[in-house]
C-alpha cells in the first residue's frame, strides 16, 4: 500500500484531502441530523392538547426546550399568538426559510468532493503520461519496459483512486440531500400545523368565552389591552 501511494505521487494526496473533507462533512451532518431528531407527530399532538386546555406557557416552554429547527419554527409562531392566521402563516414560512440554510449547510460540499476527485484522478493520469513522453528517447521507441510499466501503473492507480473515492461520496451526498429535504418538509409542515392549532384554539376560546392565549413575554400593558 505504501509503495502504491509513493508511485501515485502528490496528486494522490490532493485526492485524499477531498476524501477526508467528505468524511468530515458526512460525520458532522449525521451527528446534526441525529441530534435534532424529534417525533413531530407526538410533539404537535401534545402542543394541540396544551393549547386547547389554555396552557400556553407550557407550550412555549416545551418548544424552547426541544432542539432543532422544528422546535425553533414552532417557537417563532408561538411567540406571536394574537396575530391573524395569515400573519402567523407568513411567520412560519419565514422561520422555515431561515432553517433551510442550517439543514442544508455543507451537504453540497459532498457533491463538490464527489465531482472533483475523479477529475483529479484523470488529471493525474494525463500528467503522468505527459511526463512519461517528455523523457528522452520515448518517442523513438527506446523507453525501457520498467519505465513504461511504472508510468502506466501510476496513471491507472490515480484514475482508479479518484473514481473509487468519489462513488461513496456521491452516494452519501444523495442520502444526506434526501434526508435534508425530508426534514425541511417536516419543519414547514410543523410550522403550518402550529399556525392552524393556534388559530383553531383561539377561535374555540372565543366561542366558549375562555381567555385566548397570549405571549409569555408580552408587556403587561399590552396584555391589559
State residue 26's pLDDT score. Answer: 94
Confidence of residue 110 (pLDDT cuts 50, 70, 90): very high
Distance between start and end Cα atoms, the chain: 77
User: Quick one: 8 exposed, middle or buried, by C-beta within 10 A (0-12, 13-18, 19+)?
Assistant: buried
Give the tens place of pLDDT for each residue, 123-168.
988 888 887 777 666 555 555 667 677 778 888 888 899 999 999 9
In 3D space, the residue among 17, 71, 40, 80 whose CA is nearest the CA of residue 213 turns out to be: 80
Segment 89-100 mean pLDDT: 87
C-alpha cell at 82: 394574537
CA–CA distance, 103 with 35 (Å, rounded to integer): 12
Residue boundaries of the structural domains of the chain: 2-116+173-224
Q: Between the CA of residue 225 and those of 4, 82, 149, what are the distances in Å?
A: 78, 12, 87
Rounded to 10 deg, the angle between the 145-208 and 69-78 helix axes is: 30
Give the tens place of pLDDT for each residue, 18-53.
999 999 999 999 998 888 877 777 777 777 777 777
CA–CA distance, 62 with 75 (Å, rounded to integer): 9
Amino acid at each position: 500500500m505504501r509503495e502504491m501511494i509513493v508511485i501515485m505521487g502528490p496528486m494522490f494526496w490532493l485526492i485524499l484531502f477531498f476524501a477526508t473533507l467528505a468524511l468530515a462533512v458526512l460525520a458532522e451532518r449525521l451527528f446534526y441530523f441525529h441530534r435534532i431528531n424529534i417525533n413531530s407527530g407526538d410533539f404537535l399532538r401534545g402542543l394541540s392538547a396544551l393549547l386547547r386546555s389554555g396552557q400556553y406557557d407550557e407550550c412555549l416552554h416545551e418548544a424552547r426546550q426541544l432542539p432543532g429547527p422544528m422546535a425553533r419554527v414552532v417557537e417563532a409562531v408561538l411567540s406571536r399568538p394574537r396575530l391573524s392566521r395569515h400573519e402567523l402563516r407568513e411567520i412560519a414560512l419565514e422561520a422555515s426559510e431561515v432553517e433551510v440554510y442550517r439543514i442544508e449547510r455543507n451537504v453540497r460540499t459532498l457533491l463538490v468532493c464527489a465531482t472533483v476527485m475523479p477529475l483529479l484522478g484523470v488529471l493525474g493520469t494525463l500528467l503522468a503520461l505527459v511526463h512519461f513522453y517528455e523523457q528522452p528517447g520515448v518517442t523513438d521507441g527506446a523507453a525501457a519496459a520498467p519505465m513504461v510499466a511504472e508510468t502506466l501503473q501510476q496513471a491507472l492507480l490515480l484514475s482508479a483512486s479518484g473514481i473509487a473515492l468519489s462513488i461513496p461520496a456521491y452516494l452519501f451526498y444523495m442520502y444526506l440531500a434526501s434526508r435534508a429535504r425530508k426534514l425541511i418538509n417536516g419543519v414547514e409542515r410543523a410550522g403550518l400545523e402550529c399556525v392552524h392549532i393556534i388559530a383553531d384554539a383561539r377561535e374555540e376560546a372565543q366561542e366558549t368565552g375562555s381567555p385566548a392565549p397570549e405571549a409569555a413575554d408580552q408587556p403587561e400593558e399590552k396584555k391589559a389591552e
